[in-house]
Amino acid sequence: MISIVLISRRPIYRKALRALLDEAPDCTVVKETADWPSAETFPAGDPRVVCVVDAGTLSPVSAIANRPLLPAVFLVFGEETPAFLQQLYERASTGCLLHTDSLDDLYEAIRAAARRTHYASASFQAFMEAKGMPPATRHPRRLSPREWEVLYYITLGYANKEIADTLVISVKTVEAHRTNLREKLAMKTRRELVEYAYQTGLIHSSK
């Protein structure tokens, strides 16, 4: 069963989404919130948590930089800037679709996010292409979803063992991801990786 956290500042929209998601046999809404919650508020011990986010009501900073690095599906209204949407799509385990897409698209995006894979509906891709920013574009240094996750925890100062325990992977796998990060980004030190995380909006300065 996939646990859903609904995030929207529009109460009626949030309630409508909940009613629709309750119809899915493999989804259950466990929380509704108006703002992006802290990591501590997510269901503990549940590896299949997916956030369904009303992207139009959250600022780019809170939606991209502040959010816990959990799978998320962003419902786009078309009011967001293309650059913001591109950032959303490049984040780990993210799905993007328009709010006018079908329920099948929504369910498929949620299930893809639960598998830690990207999803972009055909209408979302067409929308981005119309804005001159096709989401399928791959940067030659593009990181995998898992590499984004490892980078996130590196910036928080987690040791390899702590990252492994958090992501439920082996220490050797974490070490391999760290090596891949340095090779892809041509960076040798943790400081360089942290600076890159700030530059890309993965984390933000508290200053």
Average pLDDT over the chain, rounded to whole?
Answer: 78
Give yes or no: residues 161 and 119 share one domain. no
- Look at residue 95 and tell me if it is in a domain: yes
d(CA 202, CA 91): 8
Bridge partners of residue 5, in order along the sequence = 31, 51
Q: What is the mean pLDDT of residues 186-191?
A: 85
Looking at the structure, tell me whether residues 115 and 166 fall in a common domain: no
**pLDDT classification of 142: cutoffs 50, 70, 90:** low
How far, in Å, CA of 61 to CA of 189, rounded?
26
pLDDT at 119 over 80: yes
Cα–Cα separations (whole angstroms), residue 166 to 3, 82, 132: 18, 32, 38
Domain count, the chain: 2
Supply the pLDDT for residue 41: 58
Residues 123 and 153 reside in one and the same domain: no
Percent of the chain with pLDDT over 90: 18
Query: What pLDDT, on a 0 to 100 scale, did the predictor assign at position 206?
Result: 46
CATH code for position 157? 1.10.10.10
Q: Which residue has the tokens 């899915």?
A: 24
| 36 and 73 assigned to the same domain | yes
State the Cα–Cα distance between residues 61 and 48, nearest whole angstrom. 25
- Residue 201, both tokens: 């909006």
Asked if 173 and 124 sit in the same domain, the reply is no
Distance CA 126, CA 134 (A): 8
Domain shared by 116 and 192, yes or no: no
Could you read off the pLDDT of 88-100 as tens digits, one per residue?
766 655 788 999 9
pLDDT of residue 25: 87
Buried-exposed string 71-107: b where 16+ CB fall within 10 A, e elsewhere: bbbbbbeeebeeebbbbbbbbbbbbbbbeebeeebbb
In a domain, residue 171? The reply is yes
- Which residue would you say has higher pLDDT here, 136 or 119? 119
Residues in the chain: 207
Give the orientation angle of helix 190-200 with respect to helix 171-185, to 10 degrees.
70
Judged against a pLDDT cut of 70, whether residue 189 lies above it is answered with: yes
Tell whether the model's pLDDT for residue 18 goes beyond 80: yes
- Can you read off the two tokens belonging to residue 124? 């979302």
Q: Which residues pair with 31 in a beta bridge?
A: 5
Q: Please tell me whether residues 15 and 67 are part of one structural domain.
A: yes
DSSP letter for each residue of 63-74 = IIISS-S--EEE
Show the domain range for 58: 2-130
What is the reported pTM?
0.61
If asked whether residues 107 and 178 sit together in one domain, one would say: no
Same domain, 108 and 149: no
- Per-residue pLDDT of 148-172, as tens digits, reads 788 888 988 899 999 999 888 999 9
- In this predicted structure, what is the pLDDT of residue 70? 67
Give the per-residue pLDDT at 59.
Answer: 57
Structure tokens at 99: 């709010």
pLDDT tens digits for range 45-67: 555 788 898 887 665 545 454 45
CA angle 75, 78, 81 (to 5 degrees): 105
Same domain, 10 and 93: yes
